Amino acid sequence: MRHGAPIVTNDLDIVHRRDPENIARLLGVLDAIDAVKRADSHRLRPTASWFLGRGHILLDTSAGPLDLLCEFEPGQDYDGLTSRSVVVRQGDREIRIVDLPTLIELKTKAGRPKDRLAVPILVATLEEQTRRRGG
Amino acid sequence: MALPSNDPVGLDPTVAAVRAMLAERDPELLDAIDDVDRTLIVSGLGRDPWSRVRESVSNASYLSELRRCLATTSKG
Q: Do the Cβ atoms of B21 and A108 come within 8 Å?
A: yes
pLDDT of A135: 61
Nearest chain A residue to B3 by CA: give it: A127
Q: Say what the pTM is.
A: 0.80
Average pLDDT value for residue range B21-39: 93
Residue B24 has pLDDT above 80, yes or no: yes
Could you report the per-residue pLDDT of A59-97, keeping only the tens digit for each? 999 988 999 999 988 888 999 999 999 998 878 888 899
pLDDT of A78: 95
**pLDDT interval class at A108 (50, 70, 90):** very high
pLDDT of A11: 79
Q: Answer yes or no: are the C-beta atoms of A91 and A37 closer than 8 Å.
A: no
**pLDDT interval class at B49 (50, 70, 90):** confident
Q: Do the Cβ atoms of B26 and A124 come within 8 Å?
A: no
Using CA atoms, how far apart are residues A39 and A33, in angstroms rounded to an integer? 17
Task: Please tell me if residue A97 touches chain B, with a CB cutoff of 8 Å.
Answer: no
Q: Domain residue spans in chain A? A: 12-83, 99-135
Q: Do the Cβ atoms of B29 and A126 come within 8 Å?
A: no
Indicate which of B33, B41, B43 best probes the interface with A, i.e. most A CBs within 10 Å of its own CB: B41
Residue B49: Cβ-neighbour burial (10 angstroms; 0-12, 13-18, 19+): middle
Contacts of A129 in chain B (CB under 8 A): 45
Task: Please tell me if residue A101 touches chain B, with a CB cutoff of 8 Å.
Answer: yes
pLDDT of B40: 87
The pairing of beta strand A36-37 with beta strand A64-69: unpaired
Cβ count within 10 A of residue A128: 19
pLDDT of B3: 65
Average pLDDT value for residue range B23-47: 91
**Cα Rg of chain A, angstroms:** 16
Could you report the per-residue pLDDT of A3-35, keeping only the tens digit for each? 777 777 777 899 999 999 999 999 999 999 999
